[in-house]
Amino acid sequence: MKVSVDVDCTPAEARAFLGLPDVTPIHDKYVKTVLDSIDGVTSIEQMESVVKTFAPMGDAGMKLFKQMMDIGLSGMTPKMGNDKS
């Protein structure tokens, strides 16, 4: 038997339901800081430096994020001949 449940809620409602903290003020401050830093950038090299500075764990974090996305996307592709209905 297969049961599906669809929940229609905002991300904020989902976080509250799951008991996760509201990090909106932290997120807003982070975004403002990044945008303020980018305002003075005049070249690609400066932009790369700014992005690496603010990215979690720098280059390692970006590579880890890419690996996680690759793994997640590979799990979404249908497997041929594996249909269990």
Residue 78: what pLDDT? 62
pLDDT the model gives residue 12: 86
Structural domain count, the chain: 1
Angle at CA of residue 81, ends 79 and 82, nearest 5°: 60
Q: Does residue 52 fall inside a structural domain?
A: yes
The answer to whether the beta carbons of residues 59 and 52 sit under 8 Å apart is yes
Residue 24 counted as domain residue: yes
pLDDT tens sequence for the chain (85 residues): 999 989 899 988 988 888 988 888 988 998 888 788 778 777 777 777 777 777 766 677 777 777 877 777 777 666 555 555 4
Does residue 1 form part of some domain? no
Q: Within a domain: residue 83?
A: no
Compute the distance between CA of residue 60 and CA of residue 57 in angstroms, rounded to an integer: 6
∠ Cα 6 24 72 (to 5°): 45
Domain with 58, as residue range(s), is 11-76
Q: Decide if 6 is inside a domain.
A: no
The pLDDT value recorded for residue 79 is 59
